[in-house]
């Protein structure tokens, strides 16, 4: 169930009064309906308020659909420089307690964030880099992956509009350009893992179906980060937009027993979620990060 949300639009360069808009069903539509050049939005959920200070927080961020808008191809996304600057400042002011948690490999995350080199979990936690640069990797039977990749490639080659992404320890089939083939892609993935269920699982996402190692998810990656410096002892906040991020939100609810010092999940965009907070789109994430960076205390 969506949480009741209040949008507050403020015009700092005018004398117009603040105008509240109550929105309980579609925050993204409400946010865009303001359509004003000076709009800044804050979203207040009924149980939790989106943090307005980075002090004491450990920040975890998904990449696609959260930091960057989704694109027709994974290699066509763009991270604006001001967002990179916000991440740099927030990482510095939290002593490094900021990590990317993505389905992409760490090498791809580094490419888009360069010159930043932040803690990161890639491939849904199959690889994880700590603040000190140590990388832990989970491996699988690459021969099994090769068999599935070969079969998937043949299917993609015969089906216009599909795109196969090789993730090394798994594969992803994108159907954004051919949504009419969504069911066929899902059936293919289920068929491919059928004899390999003990080692692999199917992970649906936004216009994509992935085959990935069983037992790995963003929630376990976040929990591992929270056991080490500089994340330990801080309150975790995780922003994500897709089905894969729900495991991360669930992990946050388990931190500290879900009490006042438990983690806070922030769903980006529309759709059902177990996260208590919501931002309407990627642009709102950028504004929120900029606000946090602007008011962040210096790290001690």
Q: Tell me what pLDDT residue 129 has.
A: 98
Enter the tokens of residue 113. Answer: 């964030």
Q: Which of 55, 62, 89, 245 is catalytic?
A: 62
Q: Tell me what pLDDT residue 54 has.
A: 93
Q: Tell me what pLDDT residue 5 has.
A: 39
Q: Tell me what pLDDT residue 299 has.
A: 54
75 is catalytic: no
Q: Tell me what pLDDT residue 31 has.
A: 41
Q: Tell me what pLDDT residue 85 has.
A: 97
Question: How far is residue 136's CA from residue 134's CA, in Å, rounded to a whole number?
Answer: 7
Those residues of the chain that have pLDDT short of 50 are 1-48, 300
Residue whose C-alpha is closest to residue 102's, from 210, 183, 200:
210
Q: Tell me what pLDDT residue 48 has.
A: 42
pLDDT tens-digit profile of 164-188? 999 999 999 999 999 999 999 999 9
Question: For residue 132, with 0-12 CB atoms within 10 Å meaning exposed, 13-18 middle and 19 or more buried, which class applies?
Answer: exposed
Task: Give the side-chain half-sphere CA count within 13 A for 117.
Answer: 8
């Amino acid at each position: 169930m969506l949480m009741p949300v209040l949008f507050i639009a403020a015009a700092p360069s005018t004398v117009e009064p603040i105008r509240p808009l109550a929105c309980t069903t579609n925050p993204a539509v409400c946010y865009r309906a303001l359509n004003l050049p000076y709009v800044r939005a804050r979203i207040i959920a009924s149980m939790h308020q989106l943090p307005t200070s980075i002090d004491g927080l450990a920040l975890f961020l998904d990449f696609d659909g959260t930091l960057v808008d989704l694109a027709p191809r994974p290699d066509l996304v763009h991270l604006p420089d001001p967002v990179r600057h916000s991440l740099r400042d927030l990482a510095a002011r939290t002593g490094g307690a900021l990590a990317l948690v993505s389905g992409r490999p760490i090498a791809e995350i580094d490419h888009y964030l360069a010159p930043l080199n932040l803690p990161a979990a890639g491939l849904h936690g199959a690889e994880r880099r700590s603040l000190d640069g140590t990388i832990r990797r989970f491996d699988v039977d690459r021969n099994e992956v090769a068999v599935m990749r070969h079969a998937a490639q043949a299917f993609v080659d015969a089906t216009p509009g599909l795109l196969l992404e090789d993730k090394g320890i798994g594969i992803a089939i994108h159907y954004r350009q051919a949504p009419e083939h969504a069911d066929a892609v899902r059936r293919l993935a289920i068929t491919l893992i059928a004899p390999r269920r003990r080692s692999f699982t199917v992970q649906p996402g936004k216009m994509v179906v992935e085959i990935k190692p069983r037992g790995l998810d963003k929630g376990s990656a976040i929990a591992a980060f929270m056991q080490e410096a500089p994340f330990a002892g801080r309150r975790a906040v995780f922003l994500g937009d897709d089905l894969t991020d729900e495991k991360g939100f669930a992990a946050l609810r388990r931190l500290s027993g879900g009490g006042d010092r438990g983690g806070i999940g922030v769903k980006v965009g529309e759709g059902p979620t177990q996260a208590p907070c919501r931002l309407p789109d990627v642009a709102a994430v950028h504004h929120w990060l900029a606000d946090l960076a602007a008011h962040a205390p210096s790290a001690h």
